[in-house]
Amino acid sequence: MHEQHAPHGSHRPPPPGTPAHSPSSSRMLASYFTDIEQLLEEHRWDAALREACDLPRIVVALSDPHLRCSGEEIATWCRQWLKPADAASGTVQPETSVSAHQAAAGDAPAVPTRALRRLQLRRHVRLPPRGFHRDPQTGLDPQGAEAVATGHALVEAARRWYARAGCHDPTVQVNLARLAVLR
C-alpha cells in the first residue's frame, strides 16, 4: 500500500555482497589504455608493446599498499586475467611475449618506478583526437600481428581487472589518487 520512506539524510545499508563504496573510474588508466591502442593503430610496435607489457606490473603494484610487485605476483596476475589465445588461429600466447619483458621484474618485490612514472605522465600528454581508425589487423607482417594481439590482450585484461576488482579495491583507489597528485 503506502511505503514508508526513510527520513532525509539517512540511508539503507547496501545489499549483501555489494561493495561499501561506489565503483570509480580512472581517467589515468583509461587514457593509458587508449594511448596503447592508438600506438597499435599507428603501427608503433615497440612503444605500444613497452607500454602494454608494463600493464601487469602497474596493476599488481597498484594493488599493493607500497606500490611493489614481484615476478611471481605478475605471473599470477597474467594467469588469472589474460585469456589464452585460440590455438586454431595461430596467434601468439600473450604470456610468451610478456614473460620476456617481465623477466627483469625478478622475484624480490620492488616498485616498478619507470612504469608507474609513465602511467603518471601519460595524463599530461594530449594526443590528437583518434577520429576514424582503421582495422589494425589488415595486412600486417608477423611482428605487427603479434604486437597487435599482445597489446590488445594486455589492455583487455587490465580493463577486466579494473572493472571487476581494481575499481572496488580501496588500496588501488588510494594508489591511483597518490599517483595523480604526485609530481
Residue 94 in any domain: the answer is yes
pLDDT computed for residue 75 by the predictor: 94
pLDDT over 90, % of the chain: 41
pLDDT computed for residue 65 by the predictor: 96
Mean of the pLDDT values across residues 160-170?
Answer: 95
CB atoms within 10 A of CB 95: 17
Q: Which domain holds residue 100?
A: 27-125+141-181
Residue 15 in any domain: the answer is no
Q: pLDDT tens-digit profile of 21-38?
A: 444 578 889 989 999 999
pLDDT at 60 over 70: yes
Contacts of 118 (CB under 8 A, 6+ apart): 51, 54
Residue 6 in any domain: the answer is no
Rounded to the nearest integer, the mean pLDDT of the chain is 76
**By C-alpha distance, which of 182, 172, 181, 183 is closest to 26?**
172
Q: pLDDT tens-digit profile of 107-140?
A: 778 989 898 888 877 655 555 555 545 555 567 7
Mean of the pLDDT values across residues 148-168?
Answer: 95
Residue 133 in any domain: the answer is no
Residue 63 in any domain: the answer is yes
Comparing 165 with 137, the larger pLDDT belongs to 165
Residue 14 in any domain: the answer is no
Contacts of 159 (CB under 8 A, 6+ apart): 33
Type of residue numbered 57: R
Q: What is the 3-state secondary structure (H, E, C) of the chain?
A: CCCCCCCCCCCCCCCCCCCCCCCCCCHHHHHHHHHHHHHHHCCCHHHHHHHHHCHHHHHHHHCCCCCCECHHHHHHHHHHHCCCCCHHHCCCCHHHHHHHHHHHHCCCCECCHHHHHHHHHHCCCCCCCCCCCCCCCCCCCHHHHHHHHHHHHHHHHHHHHHHHCHHHCHHHHHHHHHHHHCC
Q: How many domains does the chain have?
A: 1
Q: pLDDT tens-digit profile of 42-52?
A: 889 999 999 99
pLDDT at 14 over 70: no
Comparing 65-74, 94-103, 107-116, 131-140, which segment has the lowest mean pLDDT? 94-103
pLDDT computed for residue 118 by the predictor: 84
| 97, three cell numbers | 611475449
Are the beta carbons of 63 and 171 closer than 8 angstroms? Answer: yes
Q: How confident is the model at residue 158 (pLDDT cuts 50, 70, 90)?
A: very high
Residue 11 in any domain: the answer is no
Mean of the pLDDT values across residues 44-67?
Answer: 94
Residue 10 in any domain: the answer is no
Q: How confident is the model at residue 19 (pLDDT cuts 50, 70, 90)?
A: very low
